[in-house]
Amino acid sequence: GPGAASAPVNPPNCLCAPRNRPEGKVLETVGVFEAPKQHGKYETGQLFLHSVFGYRGIVLFPWQARLYDRDVASPVTEKSENAAGHGSKEVKGKTHTYYQVLIDARDCPHISQRSQTEAVTFLANHDDSRALYAIPGLDYVSHEDILPYSSTDQVPIQHELFERFLMYDQTKVPPFVARDTLCAWQEKNHPWLELSDVHRETTENIRVTVIPFYMGMREAQNSHVYWWRYCIRLENLDSEVVQLRERHWRIFSLSGTLETVRGRGVVGREPVLSKEQPAFQYSSHVSLQASSGHMWGTFRFERPDGSHFDVRIPPFSLESNKDEKTPPSGLHW
């Protein structure tokens, strides 16, 4: 029956998650797969498995983003020199649905090597101009990341915000509906949660996706400091194993400064992207003393034979919200 542990061989159309055992051999039934939506969007309360990272999650709400995909050649193919200093194609943004989701806490330990499980950070209160606080187990996923499923479990996702944000209602499909607290939280933190632009580019079968977020402005020593967070996903679309060795960033600020940042790996890691574990996702932060700027660069990867190649990070702009709203001050509902 539903919720019963199943043998490691999955019954057809039955969705199983590894139990928290070192060998990961024991599987338990968590629900039944549904057909992914080709058109339209998933509703609040939709349960899903992440198609890349494999975690269980639930949709909080959708965002409409502009996806700038450099892999899709636009009709105009002439190259033009841009401020980022290299020939660039004019890229048109296409509307694409992304979702704010909760990650099941039981799955966080399994994905922490592949993905940071706090894709959302806020600037903390004004006393400390550099402090950031993060909400664990929140992520942004694109429409095609979602493998939808249904469950008879009234609390199918373990997350401290699950029962604060969602309520079981068996008359609805999906049977989880937004509580007022979720609507209030979304309303209040909308400027820092909203994802508006997504940038994507593939070099030698390594796809880089960047999502920048404006986090707010702080005053420091009579000047203004503007903060952004950016989420990056690296995906190996090939079967050859590669390892990320270095990052090389250029950060241009509207005030006219150009900064170069080189370093080993990313967030202290040098992830290996293989056929079994093709993706790695992380977030980082950048501050400028100007209200806008842009960033671009390369990741250097190593092949098994020791040769290296550079993967382009698509140029993306750092924009501050035109209407300055007060940054959030902790998690007060």
pLDDT score of 165 more than 70 = yes
Q: Are 254 and 289 in contact (CB under 8 A)?
A: no
Closest CA to 99 of 57, 130, 128, 155: 57
Fold annotation for 32-72+93-319 = Immunoglobulin-like (2.60.40)
Identify the residue whose tokens are 């892999």: 71
pLDDT, the chain, mean: 84
CA pair distance 223, 284, nearest whole angstrom: 23
For 68-119, the pLDDT digits (tens) are 999 976 555 444 444 444 455 678 899 999 999 999 999 998 888 898 877 7
Length of the chain: 333
> Which class for 146: exposed (0-12), middle (13-18), buried (19 or more C-beta within 10 A)?
buried
What is the mean pLDDT of the segment spanning 152-180? 95
User: pLDDT tens, 131-146?
Assistant: 678 888 999 999 999 9
Tell me what pLDDT residue 46 has. Answer: 97
pLDDT in tens, 221-230: 888 999 999 9
Looking at residue 23, the DSSP 8-state letter turns out to be: T
Residue-wise pLDDT tens digits, 299-314: 999 999 999 999 999 9
Structure tokens at 37: 């939506």
Q: How far apart are CA 131 and CA 328, in angstroms?
A: 13
d(CA 19, CA 28): 7
Using the predicted structure, report yes or no on whether residue 21 has a pLDDT greater than 90.
Answer: no
Q: How far apart are CA 250 and CA 312, in angstroms?
A: 12
Cβ–Cβ under 8 Å, residues 68 and 199: yes
Domain ranges of the chain: 32-72+93-319
270 contact partners, CB below 8 Å, separation of at least 6: 243, 244, 245, 264
Name the DSSP letter for residue 266.
B
